Amino acid sequence: MNVLITGGCGFLGARLARTLLQQASLPLAGAPAQPVEHILLADRAPPPADLQADARIRVLQGDLLDQAASGALPLAEVQLVFHLAAAVSGECEADFDLGMRSNLDTTRALLEGCRRAGHAPVFVFSSSVAVFGDSPEQPLPAVVDDRTLPTPQNSYGIQKFVGEQLVADYTRKGFVQGRSVRLMTVSVRPGRPNGAASSFLSGMLREPLAGERARCPVPPDTAVALASPGNTVAGILRAATAGAAEWGARTAVNLPALTTTVREMAQALERIAGAQATALIDWSPDPGVARIVTGWPSRIHARRAASLGLAADPDFDTVLRQYVQENPQAVKLPLKG
The predicted-structure confidence for 258-314, as pLDDT tens digits, reads as follows 999 999 999 999 999 999 999 999 999 999 889 888 888 999 999 999 999 999 999
- What is the domain partition of the chain in residue ranges? 2-183+228-254, 200-224+257-330
Tell me: domain 2-183+228-254, CATH 1.10.10.10, correct? no
Q: What is the mean pLDDT of the chain?
A: 95
8 Å CB contact between 125 and 106: no
pLDDT band at 105 (very low <50, low <70, confident <90, very high): very high
Q: Which SS3 state, helix, strand or coil, does residue 259 take?
A: strand
Q: Which SS3 state, helix, strand or coil, does residue 280 take?
A: coil
Task: For residues 214-241, give the mean pLDDT.
Answer: 97
* Residue 13 predicted with pLDDT over 70: yes
User: Running DSSP on this structure, what letter comes out for residue 103?
Assistant: I
Task: For residues 85-95, give the mean pLDDT.
Answer: 90
pLDDT of residue 230: 97
CA 148, CA 298: separation in Å to the nearest integer? 13
8 Å CB contact between 294 and 222: yes
Q: Burial level of 129, CB count in 10 A (0-12/13-18/19+)?
A: buried
pLDDT of residue 292: 87
* Residue 73 predicted with pLDDT over 90: yes
pLDDT of residue 101: 97
Per-residue pLDDT tens for 21-68?
A: 999 999 999 999 999 999 999 999 999 999 999 999 999 999 999 999
pLDDT band at 336 (very low <50, low <70, confident <90, very high): confident
pLDDT of residue 196: 78
- Average the pLDDT over each of 91-95, 182-186, 229-233 and give the range with the smallest value: 91-95
Helix (H) or strand (E) run with residue 257 in it: none
Per-residue pLDDT tens for 189-220?
A: 998 877 778 899 999 999 999 999 999 999 99
CA 182, CA 109: separation in Å to the nearest integer? 21
* Residue 256 predicted with pLDDT over 90: yes
CA 335, CA 337: separation in Å to the nearest integer? 6
CA 4, CA 254: separation in Å to the nearest integer? 23
CA 209, CA 48: separation in Å to the nearest integer? 23
Catalytic residue among 123, 132, 156, 247: 156
Task: For residues 164-185, give the mean pLDDT.
Answer: 98
Q: Which SS3 state, helix, strand or coil, does residue 158 take?
A: helix
* Residue 168 predicted with pLDDT over 80: yes
What CATH number is given for 200-224+257-330 in this structure?
3.90.25
Within 101-199, residue ranges assigned H as helices are 106-117, 155-172
pLDDT band at 337 (very low <50, low <70, confident <90, very high): low
CA 291, CA 305: separation in Å to the nearest integer? 28
CA 9, CA 4: separation in Å to the nearest integer? 12
* pTM for this prediction: 0.95
**Sheet with 223-227, side-by-side order of all strands:** 185-186, 223-227, 258-261
Active site includes 156?
yes
CA 83, CA 127: separation in Å to the nearest integer? 9
Percent of the chain with pLDDT over 70: 100
CA 105, CA 228: separation in Å to the nearest integer? 29
Helix (H) or strand (E) run with residue 74 in it: none
* Residue 69 predicted with pLDDT over 80: yes
